[in-house]
């Protein structure tokens, strides 16, 4: 077992990273004076993992939506399900599946060790039968139909389908009713063995709990793993989008849009500096203090819900501008013009500095919330970073760094537009 302390003196924060004999990495950030603790047990397995690596180096396809399906099923057991067990301790428990990760979590004010035992127990104790799988297919089928009725969900996934030709990020996290119908109990056990090895996982804890409390439970509950992390397939993508525009009509009062700029991907993952430069670039161009935001708002082309984000993961990345607009096509055109101007002139120095400081401030503020810290500990671990690397890079970034990154992003030839229009045809 190894035990390392990471500290950032300027932030006044530190955390311990323990490589447990079982194969699991544990990160604990204890906060003096806090009354609650948040624990997150996550695996590097998300909706983009639609193929399992074989011994000969090839990959075998699995149904889309399997990661999300498995997340739902792990809460069940032959006796009480995990939610019922947490209800008896008073903990607030949940789980989620994203494109790149599946995580199980709880927040509690007391009985931390008991709650952590429950978390480590049920995630390591899969129980699937064909009968319960069939029942879950109906439940998740309803969930899929519900999300199809969400304009916010549809405008986002339509954009991803427009941007990407092959990458599974274009697939709905829950899959489709047709793909989940192919899931069986044997398949779930197969995926569990492949992706839920402790070497492919991380446990993060933030708040009142100490590393000693976490280790005492870990020593008791963790089962030694086989010693391998899952292999993730890299799906190559053309640099241009699959299609330029997707329009859909739904029962909305105001049209919604998402304008994306696809990034050309050479290697599967972005560096932390690449991510920070992209975040700061988008804040400088379209943040609330930007000239673009003010002009679009004054002209009635957006409302205060408008925003921009750098969306990235294993083998995919894009810059996205999205929101509601009475004239989404004109709004998108104005954004494209503003972006083209910035690519010609470079980022305004004052806008860069405001954006850099805001980004750093957001990073600092997350330490006030135990949930934010636990999630950041997991995200940075799976990215191969220590938690404080982002702050160190942000403090040292220059305008030249961001302008160099600008040269790699926001090429107008890579754009795609997703629009949701009112169903009655009134625009």
Where do the domains of the chain lie? 2-221, 245-422
> What is the tens place of the pLDDT at every residue in 117-132?
999 999 999 999 999 9
Phi/psi of residue 70, nearest 5 degrees: -65, -40
d(CA 419, CA 255): 7
Tokens (6 digits) for 372: 């934010």
Is the Cβ–Cβ distance between 34 and 205 less than 8 Å? no
Beta bridge partners of 39: 106, 205
| Res 424 pLDDT > 80 | no
- Residue 57 — left, alpha, or beta (φ > 0 → left; ψ -120 to 50 → alpha)? left
- Tell how strand 245-250 and strand 415-422 pair up: parallel
- Tell how strand 59-61 and strand 51-53 pair up: antiparallel
Angle between helices 349-365 and 399-406 (to 10 degrees): 100
Give kind and range of the element (H or E) at residue 85. helix 82-89
Tokens (6 digits) for 156: 């986002």
Is the Cβ–Cβ distance between 96 and 103 less than 8 Å? yes
* Residue carrying structure tokens 């978390």: 119
Length of the chain counted residue by residue: 427
3-state secondary structure of 106: strand
CATH of 245-422 among 2.30.30.30, 3.30.830.10, 3.40.50.300, 3.40.50.2300: 3.30.830.10
3-state secondary structure of 104: strand
State mean pLDDT over 224-237.
90
For 276-339, what is the HEC assignment?
HHHHHHHHHHHCCCCHHHHHHHHCCCCCCCCEEEEEEECCEEEEEEEEECCCHHHHHHHHHHHH
Q: Name the active-site residue from 64, 71, 263, 283.
A: 71
| Res 425 pLDDT > 70 | no
Q: Count Cβ neighbours within 10 Å for each residue of 116-142 and write b for 16 or more, e otherwise.
A: bbbbbebbbebbbeeeebeebeeebbe
Phi/psi of residue 176, nearest 5 degrees: -125, 170
- The pLDDT mean for the chain works out to 96
> What is the tens place of the pLDDT at every residue in 241-293?
999 999 999 999 999 999 999 999 988 999 999 999 999 999 999 999 999 99
d(CA 193, CA 70): 12
Residue 152 is a catalytic residue = no
Query: Residue 423's pLDDT is what?
Result: 87
Sign of the four-CA dihedral 377, 383, 389, 393: negative
Query: Residue 92's pLDDT is what?
Result: 97
In this structure, of 79-93, 334-348, 404-418, the range with the lowest mean pLDDT score is 79-93
> What is the tens place of the pLDDT at every residue in 375-392?
999 999 999 999 999 999
> What is the tens place of the pLDDT at every residue in 301-338?
999 999 999 999 999 999 999 999 999 999 999 999 99
- Cβ neighbours, 10 Å, residue 194: 18
Is the Cβ–Cβ distance between 394 and 273 less than 8 Å? no
- Tell how strand 59-61 and strand 13-19 pair up: unpaired
pTM: 0.95
Query: Residue 269's pLDDT is what?
Result: 92
- Tell how strand 51-53 and strand 256-262 pair up: unpaired
Q: Count Cβ neighbours within 10 Å for each residue of 348-378 and write b for 16 or more, e otherwise.
A: beebbebbbebbbeebeeebeebebbbbbbb
Query: Residue 390's pLDDT is what?
Result: 95
Query: Residue 148's pLDDT is what?
Result: 86
Report the chain's C-alpha Rg in angstroms. 22
Q: Which fold would CATH assign to domain 2-221?
A: Cytochrome Bc1 Complex; Chain A, domain 1 (3.30.830)
Percent of the chain having pLDDT more than 90? 94
| Res 426 pLDDT > 60 | no
CA dihedral 313, 150, 319, 398 (to 10 degrees): -80
Phi/psi of residue 87, nearest 5 degrees: -60, -30
Tokens (6 digits) for 3: 């035990």
Exposure of 91 in the CB half-sphere (CA atoms within 13 A): 28
| Res 79 pLDDT > 90 | no
């Amino acid at each position: 077992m190894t035990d390392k302390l990471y500290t950032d003196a300027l932030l006044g924060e530190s955390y311990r990273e323990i490589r447990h004999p079982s194969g699991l990495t544990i990160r604990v950030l204890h906060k003096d004076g806090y009354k609650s603790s948040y624990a997150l047990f996550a695996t590097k397995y998300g909706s983009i993992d639609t193929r399992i690596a074989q011994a000969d180096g090839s990959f075998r396809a699995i149904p889309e939506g399997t990661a999300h399906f498995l997340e739902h099923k792990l809460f069940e057991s032959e006796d009480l399900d995990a939610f019922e067990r947490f209800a008896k301790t008073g903990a607030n428990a949940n789980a989620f599946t994203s494109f790149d990760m599946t995580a199980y979590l709880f927040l509690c004010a007391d009985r931390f060790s008991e709650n952590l035992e429950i978390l480590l127990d049920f995630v390591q104790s899969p129980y699937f039968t064909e009968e319960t799988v069939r029942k879950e297919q109906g439940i998740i089928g309803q969930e899929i139909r519900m999300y199809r009725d969400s304009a916010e969900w549809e405008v986002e996934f339509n954009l991803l389908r427009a941007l990407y030709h092959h990458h599974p990020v274009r697939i709905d996290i829950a899959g489709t009713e047709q793909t989940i119908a192919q899931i069986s109990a044997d398949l779930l056990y197969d995926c569990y063995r492949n992706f839920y090895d402790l070497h492919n996982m991380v446990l993060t804890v933030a708040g009142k709990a100490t590393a000693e409390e976490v280790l005492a439970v870990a020593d008791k509950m963790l089962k030694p793993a086989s010693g391998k992390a899952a292999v993730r397939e890299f799906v190559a993508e053309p640099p241009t989008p699959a299609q330029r525009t997707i329009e859909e009509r739904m029962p909305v009062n105001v049209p919604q849009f998402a304008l994306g700029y696809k990034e050309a991907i050479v290697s599967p993952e972005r560096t932390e500096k690449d991510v920070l430069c992209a975040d700061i670039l988008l804040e400088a161009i379209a943040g609330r203090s930007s000239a673009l935001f003010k002009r679009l708002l004054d002209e009635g082309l957006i409302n205060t819900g408008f925003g921009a984000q750098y969306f990235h993961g294993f083998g995919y990345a894009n810059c996205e501008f999205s929101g509601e607009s009475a004239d989404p096509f004109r709004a998108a055109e104005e954004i494209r013009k503003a972006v083209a101007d910035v690519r010609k002139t470079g980022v305004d120095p004052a806008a860069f500095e405001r954006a850099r400081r805001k980004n750093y401030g957001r990073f600092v503020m997350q330490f006030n919330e135990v949930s934010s810290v636990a999630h950041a500990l997991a995200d940075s671990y799976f990215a191969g970073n220590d938690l404080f690397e982002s702050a160190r890079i942000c403090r040292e970034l220059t305008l030249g760094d961001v302008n160099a990154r600008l040269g790699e992003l926001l090429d107008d030839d890579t754009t795609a537009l997703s629009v949701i229009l009112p169903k009655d045809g009134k625009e």
